[in-house]
Structure 1
C-alpha cells in the first residue's frame, strides 16, 4: 500500500478535545491524521481516501472537492419515532410556520447550527426573515426537561460506545464503561442507570429499523426526563458530534463510516447523504 492509499482522517482547523482523541486513535490504527490549516480542501489530499471530522461548515467546505459521502440522519427522523419513545410531540416544519407559534416550544434546526436550539417563549423570539429564510427546516417539539442526558454512538444498528454529557441541563461528562462488554457481563457490571440507558437504546434502534431508519453510523442522544421516563433527545451525524467520555476507538469507527469516500457508500446509506454545496475558489 502506498502512502496515497492510506486512509486519511482530516480534522477541522479549530480542533477540539474529541478531534485530539481521534487523531491519536487514528494513528494507533495506522491511519494518517492531519489538522486542516484552513477551511479549504488541502490540495495534497485530492484523490486520496479521506474521512473528515468537524462541524457541518467544515464538511460543506471540503466535502465535494474531496469526494466525500457525508451521512446524517433524516431531518424528520425524530418525528417518525413512536410517541412513547420521544415522550413529546415533535414536528418538522419551516421557520416561517414556527414564527407563528403563540406558545412556548423547543425549536432547533435539524442538523446545522443556524440558530440556538432552545425553548422559545413563542415564535416571535425566533430569528427573523432578515436573518434566515422562511423555508429553513426546523424541528418544533413540546417542552421536555431532561434530568440526565447520554450520547450513544451507533454502528450498524448497535450501540458501540457512549457517554453521559449533561445533568439537569449542565455539562456533566462520564463514560459508559460497560458498553461493548459481552452480553452476559454487561448486566452484572453496569450500574442501574447504565443498564437502563443501554436497554432504552436498544428499544430505540429496534423501532428505528422499521419506522425511522438511520444511516449505518450515527449518534443518538437519549435522556431521562424529570418525571423519570426515558426519551430520545435527537440524532446527529457522527462526523460532526463530540465524543465526550466515549471510547475514542469506537467513536473513530463511527466517524470513518459516516464520512468516507462517496464511492465506498452502500446503497442503503445513499438516502442519508448530506447535500454538499459547490465551493467556488
Structure 2
C-alpha cells in the first residue's frame, strides 16, 4: 500500500481534546488520520498517539518505536534542577513512610500521583516501582515540547495545583522558562529522548530554588493544554514513529511492550 511521505497518525479509540487538536494539525499537513479499533491497520508509516495500555496491543503491528524517558531520570538530576529530594523505590517501601511525601508511578497511572500524609494512606495494589519525593508547592507549572534539545512549543497548565492553561508564547514567565530549560538541556539533554515532554515549575518563595523540573513525559501520551498543536505534533511524530526511522541515539529510550521489541 502506498502511504504519504509523512506517514499517517494512528489514534487510540478514546477521543480527547489533545487527540482532536493533533488530528487537525496532521490533516493540515496532508497526513491521514486513523482511529484504531481492536487491531493495528495493515499499512506502514504509522505514528501513534494514545495510552500505553492500548499501545501494548497495537505497537508491534504498527511497527512504531515508542520513546520514553528512563524511570529514574529525576533521581539522576542535580538538586539545583529538582529543588527537592527524589528517590526511586517500591510501593511496599513507600507504605512504610511515616511522613508526608509525594508518591507517583514513574510512567503509568496505576494510582494517583499525590501527596500522601503517610505510607498507610497509599491505595491498595501490587508492589511496583514508585518515585518518592519531598513535598513542594508549585506556584506555576509549564509543559514544554522538546525536539532535538529545543523547545518547539509550550503551555502553562496549572497555578498552585489548579488547572490554568495559557500558551508559553507571550507568557510573562516565558524568558525564565526558556532560560531554565536551556540550561537544563545543555547539561542533561543527552539523558533524554530526542523527542520528549518536559514539565517544569516555579516554586513558591519559601523554597531554596526558584525553578525546578516537575517530571518528564511521553509526548505520545501527553495533554498539550494551550501549546501550539502544529508544533506539538512535530514532537509527537518523532516520539512514536516508524521503527525504520529510529535514530541510533534514541534506541535506549524505546519502550518494550511484551514481545514487541521496539528497539530492534
Q: Which bin holds the TM-score, normalised by the shorter protein? A: over 0.9
Matched, 1:16 2:24: no
Alpha-carbon distance, 1:5 to partner: 6.4
Q: Select 2:175's aligned residue among 195, 199, 202.
A: 195
- Name 1:41's counterpart in structure 2: 39
> 1:197-253: CA deviations, max 9, x gaps?
11111112122136xx00000000001111271111000101100111111111101
Contact 1:68 1:259 in 2 (8 A): yes
> 1:177-203: CA deviations, max 9, x gaps?
2xxxxxxxxxxxx55411111111111
Q: Select 2:88's aligned residue among 82, 89, 92.
A: 92
Runs of 4+ in 1 over 3 A off after TM superposition: 3-6
Alpha-carbon distance, 1:127 to partner: 2.9
- Name 1:242's counterpart in structure 2: 223
Taking the TM superposition and a 5 Å limit, the aligned residue runs for 1:261-272 are 261-272=242-253
Mapped to 1, the partners of 2:171 and 2:159 lie a distance apart of 17
> 1:129-169: CA deviations, max 9, x gaps?
xx22x2x1111000011011000000001111000100110
Mapped to 1, the partners of 2:154 and 2:148 lie a distance apart of 15
> 1:70-97: CA deviations, max 9, x gaps?
0000001111111011000001111121
Gaps (5+ residues) in structure 2?
A: none
Taking the TM superposition and a 5 Å limit, the aligned residue runs for 1:1-281 are 2-3=2-3, 7-36=7-36, 38=37, 40-42=38-40, 45-128=41-124, 131-132=125-126, 134=127, 136-177=128-169, 190=170, 192-209=172-189, 213-227=191-205, 229-278=210-259
Gaps (5+ residues) in structure 1?
A: 178-189
Q: Secondary structure at the match of 1:65?
A: helix
> 1:8-49: CA deviations, max 9, x gaps?
10111111111111111111111111222x3x323xx23411
TM-score by length of 2: 0.92
